[in-house]
Chain A
Amino acid sequence: MFNRRMLIAAVAAAAVLSGGPVLAQYKSIVVSSTTSTQDSGLFGHILPLFKQKTGIDVKVIAQGTGQALDTGRRGDADVVFVHAKSAEEKFLAEGQGVKRYPVMYNDFVLIGPKSDPAGVKGMKDITKALQMIKDKQAPFISRGDRSGTHLAELALWNKNAGIDIEKDKGPWYKSIGQGMGAALNTASASNAYVLSDRGTWISFKNKGDLAIAVEGDKLLFNQYGVMLVNPEKHPNVKKDLGQQFIDWLVSPEGQKAIANYKINGEQLFYPNADDHSA
């Protein structure tokens, strides 16, 4: 035991001597956020850039938006970074947060043939639209490539429409394992429905007989906001470091880092920190 203690002391002393400044300056914050920011790889892209710039390590707890806000309410996080504006405003009204800053958004549209075999055109409810596509077995093209769009599509089937798509899909549901452009091309060639992010749809040249079928459902629109957890309520909140993270996210540098994160050349999140109504 004595020997082991000696060893630990020696190792600790060595660590202090060699890595002293690093240990003394180790800075970290806890950010409570959603799975989409984590699973899409966005955090894996922007957090190392933030760390390189400031030396601050960001530890992420990724959960559903509601749980993420609850983590903030318990004071178990310094910053919350989520996408549910009304819930965020409630959080602020409770005095749990200091101020909400809009950061970025993404937005999806359901594209379909003008002939509209599932009869969903103009619907405002994406959940019902998907259920009708399944009921009518109308052709549907899935990206199947684990992109943010694909994950959003899976969440809409599985979580919102209550359809276990892996189990319930038939020949009408085709997973192509390719990018947005290829998925739109396939949909165009086979008169199928497809979920697309708006940016890619807008720039897609081969629209053919395709048009937007469903848009504007709040399930299709993700505005992300970031807030410092109120240090007056939770004195353990690392106010300065947390604010530094928020300031970086909404700075031109942070906004550029967000815009630069791409999968298969496709931008996933659109920075909009300057849109104060968002």
Chain B
Amino acid sequence: MRPPALDLPIMFIDVRITAGAVTILDGVTLTISPGMPTVLIGPNGAGKTTLLRAAMGLVPPSSGLVTWGGRESSDPKHRAIMFQRPAMLRRSAGGNVRYALAAAGMPRSKRHERATALLSEVGLTGLDHRPARRLSGGEQQRLALARALARDPGILFLDEPTASLDPAATKAIEDIVRAVSARGVKVVMCTHDLGQAKRLAGNVVLMHRGRLIENTPAAQFFATPRTEEARKFVAGELLV
């Protein structure tokens, strides 16, 4: 059990993020509060990844306000992010995790034990010495998750953690996400998999063309979507 993460809630108030002439996020107001996972869904280019990066603190808003637990700047030492295509370091699986532990400031004497525990948490026990780049796609994704967990984050951002994984590998990731969430880590993830959103989400945030369309508790989102866009999206119609 951990106390509520000091970085929560994360608030977006009228946040705009532009790149040149392109508006990526357009007036997004959103509260990411503690509790069950927040799942971002929406078509490609909707702004999900940018929203995730802004919540991590990697991209400053062009206008508007992002705050963590009420503060306008916050050292991201209690937040971790896993990108959609994680890069594996050219070393063993264990070496990848130990590197992340070193980067998080853990003393050398403790890294080995902790790395072993993290590998076991993501179901990679015994693959410690395997070169990371020889792991399967699903295993690499789980290794990336172990690295993200290395800094023992209070908030974990996952950018499509199961894109292009098969059902078994997807389930393995979802089980880890569920376990991590149950021990009090706030998970914020984006996905294209509506089934996954249903399985994991506490609340669902639908993005479209840089705008926030709907932010609703998951059960309500799938049963009685408030907006036409959400209804279409849930019904499997193309949202373009």
Contact = CB atoms under 8 A, between A and B. Distances in A.
A265 B202 contact: yes
Contact of B35 (A43, A58, A145, A166): A145
Interface in A162-180: 166, 175, 177, 179
Interface stretch (B40-48, B62-70, B119-127, B133-141): B62-70
A124 to B, nearest CB: 30
Interface stretch (B2-10, B84-92, B165-173): B2-10
Contacts of A45: 9, 11, 31, 33
B203 interface: yes
A146 B70 contact: no
B202 A264 contact: yes
Interface range, B side: 20 to 34
Contacts of B131: none
Contacts of B33: 41, 45, 261-263
Interface string A138-161: 000000111100010000000000
Contacts of B69: 41, 44
Contacts of A147: 34-35
Nearest to A147: B35
A146 B1 contact: yes
Interface string A235-270: 000000000000000000000000011111100000
Interface of B: prevailing SS: loop
Interface of A: prevailing SS: mixed
A217 interface: no
Interface residues of A, number: 28
B11 to A, nearest CB: 5
A45 B1 CA distance: 23
Contact of A144 (B1, B4, B36, B203): B1
B216 to A, nearest CB: 8
A48 B13 contact: yes
A52 interface: yes
Given A60-B70, A166-B1, A264-B202, A179 B65 contact: no
A264 B1 contact: no
Interface of B: 1-4, 8-9, 11, 13-14, 31, 33-36, 65, 67-70, 72, 182-184, 202-203, 217, 220
**A-B pairs, 8 with minimum CB distance:** A265-B217, A264-B35, A44-B70, A48-B67, A44-B69, A177-B182, A263-B35, A48-B11
Interface of A: 39-41, 43-45, 47-49, 51-52, 58, 60, 144-147, 151, 166, 175, 177, 179, 260-265
